[in-house]
Amino acid sequence: MPWILIQLIVSPFDQAQYFFDFPHFSACVFKGKLRNLENSGYCLPTLKTMNPFSELPTPCYVVDTQKLRQNLEIIRSVQDRTGARIILALKGFAMFRVFPIIREYLCGTTASSVNEAKLGSYEFGGEVHAYAPAYSEKDIHQLSPLIKHITFNSFSQFHRFKEQVSNINPQVSMGLRINPEYSEVATELYDPCRPCSRLGMTLQHFEGEALDRIEGIHFHTMCEQNSDTLERTLKVVEEKFSPYFEQLKWINFGGGHHITRPDYDVDRLCRALDAFMQKYSLQVYMEPGEAIALNTGILIASVMDVFENDIPLAILDTSATAHMPDVLEMPYRPVIQGAGAPGSKAHTIRLGGLTCLAGDEIGDYAFDQPLKVGDRLVFEDMAHYTMVKNTTFNGVHLPSIATYNPLTQTVEVVREFGYEDYRSRLS
């Protein structure tokens, strides 16, 4: 069998899990204090084994619903302490099977398109906010009945569509995205304030403009950052745009707030929110996507082939470009359970994806034992910006989607994909 889970804690979500491939240990092995279990006197094949993951198809995303709740508890505490309203950014995480859990904690969703707005309205409920760099007349016609807030990217879009929005749904609150021309995002691809940015209006665009019927402003300048970055950003936003605050009802601080990261300073965030809201009496919204699902999901993949071309190579049944595109776009090196940096363990191997793209490579990883066909690898933190961005390039199957409930020790495969999913995207 490819791997067997010794029933110590239950799942690959837990750092104290052990995966064994009898008679040899597999690639995903050895976390915690029982590293020398094979020398402890236990007869390994007779230990009780219960592996709810062993029958999962691969590749497969698995979301731990309890870890999701842990993140949401943190986020709800921010809302309770400050009065800020936090909504789910569907562009980062849109697994609607777990929306019933999320809506216990959050009041709504934010959409970047008509399709996301429909998903938020039909599957989540509550408030639906919308922002996109541009809308068409058809977009406005479809969005307006669904949403509570709409943020325009430019004054020209606002002037073009404000009457149409009001005529369709007078209850919609209209806002404008601003560009404070301040960002601490290091990767240019993700920096919305880079020179000549198309995202939002700078202060100079406000000259000669009346804000009649604009009730809010929205800025999104952060990416995976802590609350100290927000403090510095708010200082710039206040310096430039506070003269307009008296005319507004709300302000949206956007996303990029890594609220559920272990080193995130939640107290500092709450102090910043309290100070801002007391000073300006504006309703503050935040719309993280990644923070909702951070460290809640894994991607399980299987080794399909192993060979050498000057270095050891393994082909997996997953793909960087198709299933975890941020690995190439950011770029970054995902964590694999039981693996280390090249040279840190006995066997270093390059992991490649299933597509024909020459650069569809995940990276070089070191393992205690050589990889072999059938071994399963567990990629950590794969719930956000994966399912929402993956593709069927080369016709490769999309990864299945599953949930794991550690309280009941049950895994449910909620979606598998096949030929019809590929075909339906084409014509």
pLDDT, position 10? 42
CA distance 100 to 194: 38
Beta strands 4-5 and 19-20 are antiparallel
Residue 90 contacts residue 289 (beta carbons within 8 Å)? yes
pLDDT, position 14? 53
The architecture that CATH gives domain 65-293 is Alpha-Beta Barrel (3.20)
State pTM to two decimals.
0.88
Residue 135 contacts residue 115 (beta carbons within 8 Å)? no
CA distance 102 to 355: 34
pLDDT averaged per 10 residues, the chain (length 427): 36 44 30 31 36 89 98 98 98 98 98 98 98 98 98 98 98 98 95 96 94 96 97 98 96 97 98 97 96 98 98 98 96 96 98 98 98 97 97 97 95 97 96
pLDDT, position 54? 83
Beta strands 297-309 and 311-316 are antiparallel
Residue 413 contacts residue 54 (beta carbons within 8 Å)? no
**Does domain 4-55+297-382+390-423 correspond to CATH entry 2.60.40.150?**
no
Beta strands 400-405 and 410-415 are antiparallel
From 289, 297, 292, select the one nearest 324 (Cα to Cα): 297
Domain ranges of the chain: 4-55+297-382+390-423, 65-293
pLDDT, position 51? 73
pLDDT, position 31? 28
Q: Which residues contact 427 (CB under 8 A, 6 or more apart)?
A: none
